[in-house]
Chain A
Amino acid sequence: MTQTASDTAPAGAPSGTPLLQLEGIRKRFGAVEVLRGVDLTLRSGQVTALVGDNGAGKSTLIKAVAGIYTIDDGRMLWEGRHVTVHNPKDAAALGIEVVYQDLALADNLDVVQNMFLGRERRRGLLLDEDSMEKSAGETLASLQVTTVRSVRQPVASLSGGQRQSVAVAKAVMWNSKLVILDEPTAALGVSQTRQVLDLVKRLGERGLAVLIVSHNLNDVFEVADRIAVLRLGEMVADVARGDVDSQSVVELMTTGRSDRLTADGPAPTSSAASREDA
């Protein structure tokens, strides 16, 4: 658990208005209130990790931001302006892209077709395959995704890490400003996880705001600048990575409190405590 001086970056980054501010977001499914007044602030160039136990409302929150669910109450401010997102197209128009856990890639389509799905370029009535192929290749190259041999191979033939990379590349292709990643490493092996985490860091370095949902605290501490903890539909913490350790994050996720968080700086990691994050 090395906490370096890079924690100062988020403190210096916020110049002016944040990219996205959520204020008091509420969402109810029947009798169950899944989101109970959630606040969250996302800034460009920052990777924010959204963590929480099962049923905390993480998926609901990102689907609300992505326009799949409409919120019952609360405000969304995008670059300081009040916005409402009714459907995925609205979100995409703002520059919000989501990479879902199940990837939402179409197995039978090739890499190019997937990356442009829903936003195909046309020449007249027909699809402009050449131009799309070129752009897809350029985007993959700019993200240093080099393992995909041909952009014309069907996605079904790719490895898990490659699929995730394609899904991320698809998300950043559209001048997007906020990329939301839902459990991007959940199904991946060690080296493939490495690929994807590097990719996530690169997104932040490019100046994108990144919101990453993850169960894996190792991943979270590796890539995140800020960590937001959701518990039973409420945001119990939104802190810089350097101000917490994984033990206190676990405490926040499970009990909603961490005594060590209020203490000055990162709490000392006792060996007994750090075992629990596995």
Chain B
Amino acid sequence: MITTPSTPSATAPDPGATGGGGSRPGLARLRGRVFSSSSPAWIFLVLVVIVAVFSVIKPHQFLSSFDIKSIFINASVDLVMAVGMTFVIVTAGIDLSVGSVLVFSGVVAVKVMEALASGATAVSAGWGVILVGLLAGMAAGAAWGVAQGAVIAKAKVPPFIVTLGGFGAALGLSQVLTNGVDASDVPAKLGNTIGNGSLGPFPWLVIIALVVAVIGAGVLQSTRFGRYTFAIGSNAEGARRTGINVDRHLLKVYAVVGLLSGLAGDLSLAHFTTTTLASHNNDNLTVITAVILGGTSLFGGVGSMFGTVVGVLIPVVLDAGLVIVGVQTFWQGVAVGVVLVLAVYADQLRRKNNSRR
């Protein structure tokens, strides 16, 4: 099966040289590109395959707009956190506190709305009160992130420990503030619009999450902030010697993930119209899984926001698809687990290839 392409040069002095010389740089470049961004490309393919399989099995149900919409809605809150998590993991850090910060921010938002609303509850509160409450929620998340970032950057406590502590503390504080009982007096206006409303066919939650992801992608790829994030994850000491203020940058990165967890708290509050105290213990693992699936290296220095979007969608799509197909959804955990381990294994192979120069 030697199909020689029509080579115009009649006098090929060395067939090996022309063939190899002609194709190898191109191939090497292609391989280099696919390798450097390999995981997102491959994982996108995985997503496409999953969607194709479910679409073939149950075309009408899976592709119905209801299911697509619910898939995206389910993904949007996680996506907002995953955008922040991508920055953190690219610095070779980790944030285990996101789910608890989400709850904490939601609680702060509700409490502020309650305090500002005219009646005993905030259910009938107006937009002014809602807006202040939402901003308070985001501020609470950002403040939490700054506190964690300060301990990580200045006190040099490993991020795993700092955010593990933050994970417990944020949830505990939320329970203290609410006496352990979910606050459900979320303004109806909020739930009916941002929480469950749509702009045309597009749910507000999805629009907000995608806007966050697009901005996140731009910041990560095309700004100094993003470049420094990669540099620190790749070689923190080198970045420091280049004159980058590594400590301050890390502080900012953890502030960003805190802020976005706060925003996710607002969105979750709007969607479920309650503070969902008990429902976010696994958010950290869900979000970290999504980011890693999307090709961001746990060892830092490599990552993309596009990959993160795909990585968030895969578990959600699997979940929805398995329900429709009639397989127990427990298999979703199995499938995601396997893919996750494979993704990290592929990442390690890539690193080994790179270091063998």
Contacts and interface: CB of A to CB of B under 8 A. Distances in A.
Contacts of A82: none
30 contacts: A66-B241, A98-B241, A102-B238, A103-B238, A104-B237, A105-B238, A106-B231, A106-B238, A106-B239, A106-B301, A107-B234, A107-B354, A108-B234, A109-B230, A109-B231, A113-B230, A113-B231, A117-B231, A117-B244, A118-B244, A120-B224, A120-B227, A122-B224, A125-B223, A126-B222, A127-B222, A154-B354, A156-B355, A157-B32, A157-B357
Contacts of A109: 227, 230-231, 234, 301
A257 interface: no
B242 interface: yes
**Which applies to chain B's interface (DSSP): helix, strand, loop or mixed?**
helix
A183 B241 CA distance: 17
Contacts of B124: none
A192 to B, nearest CB: 12
A107 B224 contact: no
Contacts of A88: 240-243
Contacts of B244: 117-118
B245 to A, nearest CB: 9
A150 B301 contact: no
B295 interface: no
Nearest to B29: A150
Taking residues whose C-beta sits less than 8 angstroms from the other chain, chain B's interface range is: 20 to 34
Task: Across the A-B interface, give the 3 residue pairs with the lowest CB-CB distance, nearest first.
Answer: A104-B238, A108-B301, A106-B234
A60 interface: no
A115 to B, nearest CB: 10
Nearest to A121: B224
B36 interface: yes
A153 interface: yes
A113 B229 CA distance: 12
Interface string B193-218: 00000000000000000000000001
Contacts of A255: none
B354 A156 contact: yes
A182 B29 CA distance: 32
A107 B235 contact: yes
Interface string B238-265: 1111111000000000000000000000
A100 interface: yes
A127 B242 contact: no
